Chain A
C-alpha cells in the first residue's frame, strides 16, 4: 500500500440536509421513515426534491414497518478505512423493504441491536432472509439503521 495515502481514521458518518433530515430523524426515533410523493404517493429513495413519477414537489414522510428481506450481501476484507480494518471480515447486507422492494437500504446484519458488524457469520447469511430494522445510536446526532434476523 502506498505510504502517502490518507485514509479516514474515524467512523464515516452522514451529514443531513433539508431533503433527507426526516429520514435520519426517524432513525433516531427508532423508525424507518421513507419519503413519499405528496401528490401521487409513490415512495422514493434517496430523498430528493421532486417526484420522478409525477414531478410534484409536494412530499410527505411515511413510517414503514422496518421489515425487509436480504437482497444481496458481501464480506469486505482489508485494505479498508482504518476504522473498519480491525472489524474485517464483516458483513454488509442490502435489504429490500417490505412496502417497496425496489427501495433497498445498505446496512449490516447483527445478532442483537448493539452487536458488532462482524458478529454474524457470513457463511450463514442467505439472500431472501427476512430481517427487521434495529436502531444503533453512534453519536448524539446520528443513529444508524442495522438489521437483525426476523423469525
Chain B
C-alpha cells in the first residue's frame, strides 16, 4: 500500500487558451519548471518522470530542457484520459518504494489549436473502429451519446440532470480566473437551446478544446515536511480495467454501464481509510457530462442508476453533499486530459481553491470513466 507514504508538494500550469503560441514541448517544460519552483526543489534533483502514452514530448526532451540529472524511473500510462491519476500513482509507488526521490508528472496538449485525434483516422480501419466508424459513429462524443441515450432509457435520467453537471462546472469556473470560461456565465436556458453535437448530447455536454500544460511534483512524506507548502498526501491510488468493459470500442457489448471506474473504485477504497461518505469534494473526469453520473455510481456515492438524481438539490455545490470539479473541470476550466483535476485536488487540500470547500481534508480525483482508468485519494 502506498498509504500516505508520498505527497504532492508542487503544482503548476501554463495559461489555458484555445490557441497558445508555444509548442507542446515548451508548454510542458514551463509547467514542470513552475511546479518545481512551487515545491522549492531544484530541477537537478528530479529523478523520476511519468506522463501519458499520448504525450508527444519525450522524457529525454524534458530532461534536456530542464537540465535534470540522472533519471532513475520513468513510465507512461495508456488510454488517453484514463491515464492522469495513473501517472501520479506510478510516481507515488516509485517514491514509496525508494526507487526515486523527486518525481514529476505532467501533461501538455494543444487540443485547442492542434488536430482532433478522432479526425486523423486512417482511411482504412485496422482496429476496433472498423465496427463503428463506417456507420458514421466517429467521435468520442458519438460514443458517449450512445451510452447516454441508453442510460436515459434505463434509469429515467434527463437533459436537466446533464445540465446540472454542466452548470455546476461553469459556476465554479466563473470564480476561477485561470479558467477558459471564467468570464462566461451559462444559464439553463442557454444549455437547453444549445446546438447539438450528438443527440442527446449538446455543445455544453462536451469538454472544452484547450491548449495548455500542467505538472506536479511528488516526494516522500518525510521530505514533504520540509517543502514550501503544506504536503498533500497521496492516500490511495488505483488503476482499473473492468472485466466486461475493455474500452470505447467494445462499449456496446456485455455490461456497458459497468465501466472501468468500477474496477478502479474497488481497488481504491480497499487501499483507503476513507469511505465515499467521508468525501465532501471530488474532481471527477468530465470530458462529457454523462461520465460524471456514471462515476458517481462507480465510486459508490449512490447506487446504480441513481447518478442523475444525485445531481439534484445543490448536491454538487461547495457545501453540498459532494462539491464537484471546483476549478471548472474539463467542461469549463480546461481540457488537458484531466490533469487539471489533479492540481485542483491539491489546491483544495491546501485550502487555496477559488471555490474552497470549508473543512475539506480529503479529495477524490478520477480519470476517464470510459477507458481503462485510474483514480487518487488526496488528503492534507
Contacts and interface: CB of A to CB of B under 8 A. Distances in A.
Interface centre among B195, B197, B252 (most CB of A within 10 A): B252
B130 interface: yes
Nearest to B256: A104
B253 A103 contact: yes
Contacts of A8: 119-123
Contacts of A84: 136, 138
Contacts of B135: 92, 106-108, 117, 144, 146
B188 interface: no
B352 interface: no
Contacts of B131: 14, 46, 105-106
Contacts of A2: 112-116
A35 B57 CA distance: 41
Interface string B126-142: 10111111111111001
A6 B123 contact: no
Contacts of A72: 146-147, 149-150, 153, 252
A76 B139 contact: yes
Interface centre among B113, B124, B130, B249 (most CB of A within 10 A): B130
B254 to A, nearest CB: 6
A91 to B, nearest CB: 9
B324 interface: no
Contacts of B200: 74
Interface string A35-48: 00000000001100
Contacts of B112: 2
A44 B307 CA distance: 30
A18 interface: no
A36 B133 CA distance: 24
B165 interface: no
Interface string A51-78: 0000000000000000000011111110
Given A77-B196, A102-B253, A105-B131, A15 B139 contact: no
A108 to B, nearest CB: 5
Interface centre among B123, B131, B147, B198 (most CB of A within 10 A): B131
A127 interface: yes
Given A2-B115, A12-B133, A12-B138, A77 B195 contact: yes
B119 A81 contact: yes
Nearest to A80: B138
A10 B123 contact: yes
What bracket does the count of chain A residues touching chain B fall in? 35 or more
A104 B143 CA distance: 13
A1 B196 CA distance: 16
Interface string B323-357: 00000000000000000000000000000000000
B119 A76 contact: no
B160 interface: no
B119 A106 contact: no
Interface centre among B119, B125, B150 (most CB of A within 10 A): B119
A30 interface: no
Contacts of B120: 5-8
B251 to A, nearest CB: 9
Given A72-B153, A76-B136, A102-B254, A13 B125 contact: yes
A127 B125 CA distance: 29
Contact of A7 (B119, B122, B149): B119
A76 to B, nearest CB: 5
A4 B114 CA distance: 7
A76 B146 CA distance: 10
Nearest to B137: A92
B119 A89 contact: no
A76 B138 contact: yes
B145 interface: yes
A87 interface: yes
A74 to B, nearest CB: 4
A127 B150 contact: yes
A120 interface: no
B133 to A, nearest CB: 4
9 contacts: A13-B124, A14-B134, A74-B200, A76-B145, A80-B138, A92-B136, A102-B255, A104-B253, A117-B135
Closest 10 CB pairs of A and B: A14-B130, A75-B199, A72-B150, A74-B145, A104-B252, A12-B133, A7-B119, A77-B196, A72-B149, A92-B137
Interface of A: 2, 4-15, 17, 20, 45-46, 71-77, 79-81, 84, 87-90, 92, 94, 102-108, 117, 122, 127, 138, 142, 144, 146
Interface of B: 112-116, 119-126, 128-139, 142, 145-147, 149-150, 153, 195-200, 249-250, 252-255
Given A2-B114, A12-B133, A76-B139, 9 more contacts: A7-B120, A12-B124, A13-B125, A72-B252, A74-B145, A77-B199, A80-B139, A81-B138, A106-B252
